[in-house]
Structure 1
């Protein structure tokens, strides 16, 4: 598995999944709700099936951890040296609201850290990819990719903080109170990681519940762009834990 092959395979796959999602987006689709009251649509299922099937074909034997898949018990997956971490449609609430801020997330996790990630924003035709050892890139439609980098906060002007459009939390307000925030930028899904990676914000924190597939691709891209991501206590943000529910995190440009 070379880096060039991984980029070509995963970016193409994310775009294919995005095309299928947009077909459903254009219809009068129905919405179901999971046990945790999060929404589920036909687009989630179609994208999951497409991504899983293509990854199994192209990378036989590589484990896949997907939001919509069967979750492997920890005693079995704890020994995985590498696996794909997938959210076939991140931001289903944004999909249902038809605001365009939903993504396809595919990450390669190696030794408990996201080594490489791809995020595609199908309604905007924006593609992002990267990893700590590879840099980070953005591509609009079929135009040439552009390298992206996080931005240093402007001295004396406060921080631009990304916040979730659909998941507010009083705990986040308390956390951000310790920082000088000049602007709050609301956005949906893992697209927030991309905005941080391309320098359009300075920090992105979460105190409420996320899962590994919500963050793995985004963390890889932010780190590839020169940023960092830790727990709220400043500890390394690791993956393939016993619980797939993430701790709170702070991503910085």
Structure 2
């Protein structure tokens, strides 16, 4: 990874975010993809900017992008390094005109996220980092501010992040294992950014996601000292034959317990 200059990724994400904001201000239509998920001109415009930027700065490096046709696994399985891109994560939030959507670019090496960029256009907030690359936040192009995930203190109420647009039916049952819980919600991968900033402790995701939804925030969380694993504690891997993800638990600390209570599927 260190042979790549990743500093351009933030600029590419901000350019894509500016296109998203331009479309938000000018109005847009909403259509449906084959899976009945919504898509707008902002998704398409952001995708085009990111793909062009990556091709220029990192020629020849493969890209898996939500808005383009996936390469077959027979080809993908040979990739040792590639980008995972969600040009507009949180399309439902964008359509509702909230601030909780973002641009996601992740670099994957040998199935693991090694660097991630999470950019929130509405607040002009850029997050980036990865394992061995301490995570930072930049607001309105300002200086890089280090961010750090914060574990709960012994006996502290556990702050649990939940999805705003995709509630998990099994979440209430999962949370009953903890003696004191405070639940909050946020749209898109900004949930993982909140963990990385120390704004909450736990994000269990029991419902389905796609690889491009999670990879950038996963990298960011690792760079902030947090952890994300599959629900059974096994490594959460990318470039699978099926790009759908199984359940996972993201947390603001390494390990598998809080005050002796397991956070995994036990």
TM superposition score normalised by structure 1: 0.97
CA contact (8 A) 1:64 1:84 kept: yes
**1:98 is the counterpart of 2:82:** no
1:235 CA drift (Å): 0.6
* 1:4, distance to aligned residue in structure 2 (A): 7.9
List aligned pairs for 1:229-244, cutoff 5 A. Answer: 229-244=228-243
Match of 2:202 in 1: 203
CA RMSD of aligned residues (A): 1.3
Tell me how far apart the structure 2 counterparts of residues 223 and 122 of structure 1 sit (CA, whole Å).
Answer: 23
Partner of 2:114: 115
What secondary structure is seen at the aligned counterpart in 2 of 1:69? coil
Look up the match of 2:5.
Answer: 5
Contact 1:161 1:181 in 2 (8 A): no
Q: For the residues of structure 2 that align with 1:55 and 1:152, how far apart are their CA atoms?
A: 35
Cα 1:184/1:62, change in 2 over 3 Å: same
TM-score normalised by L of structure 2: 0.92
- Gaps in structure 1 of 5+ consecutive residues: none
Aligned length: 252
Change (3 A) 1:235 1:66: same
Alpha-carbon separation, structure 2, partners of 1:181 and 1:52: 45
1:153-207, CA deviations, whole angstroms, 9 ceiling, x for partnerless residues? 0221221000001001212222222234421111000011100000000011111
Contact 1:22 1:123 in 2 (8 A): yes
In structure 2, the partner of 1:131 is 130
Q: Is the 8 A contact 1:62 1:82 kept in 2?
A: yes
In the TM superposition, what are the counterparts of 1:241-252 in structure 2 within 5 Å? Answer: 241-252=240-251
Moved over 6 A (4+): none
Identify if the C-alpha distance between structure 1 residues 181 and 48 changes in structure 2 by more than 3 Å, giving closer, same or farther: farther
Asked whether 1:63 is paired with 2:62, we answer yes
**Alpha-carbon distance in 2 for matches of 1:88, 1:203:** 25
